[in-house]
Amino acid sequence: MADYDIVFVGSGFACSFFLRKRLQVGPSRARYLVLERGPVYPHEKQVADRRNSPIVAADTYRLETEPRDGFTKSWLFTIGFGGGSNCWWAGTPRMLPSDFEMRTRYGVGQDWPLSYDDLVPYYAEIEQYMQISGPTDSPFPNMTPYPLPPHRMTDPDYALKAAFSDQYFNQPTARASRPLDTRNQCCANGVCHICPVDAKFTIMNGMREVYADPRVTLKTEAQVLSVDVEGGVAKGVVYSEGGKEHRVTGDTVVVGANAIFNPYLLLRSGLDSGPVGQGLHEQGSVRALIYYDGMEGNNGSTSVTGHGYMLYDGEHRRTAGAALLEGWNVPRFRPDFDRWTQISELYIVVEDLPQEINRVVVDPEDETRPLIRYKSQSEYFYRGIERVKAELPKVLSSLPVERIEYLPLNPTEGHTQGTTAFGTDPATSVLDREMIHHDVRNLYVVGNSVFPTGSPANPTLTTCALVTRSAERM
């Protein structure tokens, strides 16, 4: 008999929401073990120390990359209980139906092995559970009302909404628009990676009942080293705790680290079939400062107030990445007397297509860490950026814009994706549509690493919907 029914590797969104659903629908006497490499780092300590974890993410891997035009790619994530829920900005849009059908519709990338419609009920479930603040209208088909009202937009947002009523919306977000039992109301301070008032949903403030369940055992500062596989069956995992190596058995193993460590653990476990490790990617972004003649720019009620789909979908995606416009309310000031706040920021997120050359491997110099071999973002992404710069003046033509100033590309979005893609063909994917390993049928791999393509949308809501669906169908 195994020690546990399920052994989870990681305590971020993917594993925590998988665990939540199993607690709802699984056997009442089941036993679950969650192994987390990092410590519990309470919210108040994060605020006091101004960091999400004592572990520096960049120290846990080695990066080989090629700077392009002075731009160097980096990767952002948090190691600690709750994973990325500690550092995320809590944007929660759904993906659009077209994002699941890039090959069929536009001849690029890969189709996902399931559709938008497959995720609709799970999107709705997570939106209710996270208590999302969102608009009464939406670009997403088959919407259910959001549980919390939207945040107040800025004057430029409202002007864009007037010009593009069916393409510009309040951002759906897990930053509370009113006080809740477990979270405070957002104070629009603009430092959401460490929310000082604890307004955004996190694993720590939003899933206490999950980790308080007597069926769940949580071990922190327990680093998983490999999955123990025998005869095509996952028997459990090997992990290090307190300087000692341990083995624990489980009927099922769920690996949910991130798109860097998921493939690394598979490779360390001898699971190298299919394109494991290939296709590391995430969206890229550029910030545009918009200077106005007489319009105030920073009078919303949260950090990101608007979502614009004017440059998102369409035939241009055959050759250039889609763009999602985010209207930011993080204060910006201009050095002009009595016009200090006649400025705002648009954060423009552009999709990238995965490339085989960008990958994660076991570091040949030190097998205890992954090596990221990353050449650059694709030409598809860069064409998307150029399209944005060409089209944005037209999009903003109804606003009193004096000038647009572009800032350099951001080095990371904190949305590592790809590397263990799910699909229907073992030659082009690592997992099936339930996120079960093609070769090891009691091994799930979950999180953003399963995405065969990205989209401009923040990935967290989709990841939570995916794992909720698979855990329900387990």
Output the 3-class SS for 79-139.
Answer: CCCCHHHCCCCCECCCCCHHHHEHHHHHCCCCECCCCHHHHHHHHHHHHHHHCCECCCCCC
Instruction: Kindly state the tokens that stand for 292.
Output: 């106005």
Res 382: pLDDT: 96
CB–CB of 408/385 below 8 Å? Answer: no
Res 256: pLDDT: 98
Res 69: pLDDT: 80
Give φ, ψ of 206 to 5 degrees: -110, -10
Q: What is the pLDDT along the chain (474 residues), one digit of tens a residue?
A: 889 999 999 999 999 999 999 999 999 999 999 999 999 999 999 999 999 999 999 999 999 998 888 788 999 999 999 999 999 999 999 999 999 999 999 999 999 999 999 999 999 999 999 999 999 999 999 999 999 999 999 999 999 999 999 999 999 999 999 999 999 999 999 999 999 999 999 999 999 999 999 999 999 999 999 999 999 999 999 999 999 999 999 999 999 999 999 999 999 999 999 999 999 999 999 999 999 999 999 999 999 999 999 999 999 999 999 999 999 999 899 999 999 999 999 999 999 999 999 999 999 999 999 999 999 999 999 999 999 999 999 999 999 999 999 999 999 999 999 999 999 999 999 999 999 999 999 999 999 999 999 999 999 999 999 999 999 999
> Tell me, which fold does domain 4-153+173-282+358-374+414-473 have in CATH?
FAD/NAD(P)-binding domain (3.50.50)
315: three-class secondary structure by DSSP? helix
Q: Where are the beta strands (DSSP E) in 301-369?
A: 304-308, 323-328, 343-350, 359-362
Chain position carrying tokens 């598809």:
380
Closest CA to 396 of 304, 327, 465: 327
Q: What does the angle CA 102 – CA 104 – CA 108 come to, to the nearest 5 degrees?
A: 45
Instruction: Kindly state the tokens that stand for 153.
Output: 């937009």
Res 372: pLDDT: 97
Res 431: pLDDT: 98
Res 1: pLDDT: 85
Q: Where are the beta strands (DSSP E) in 130-215?
A: 168-170
Is the pTM higher than 0.85?
yes
CB–CB of 84/258 below 8 Å? Answer: yes
DSSP state of 395: H
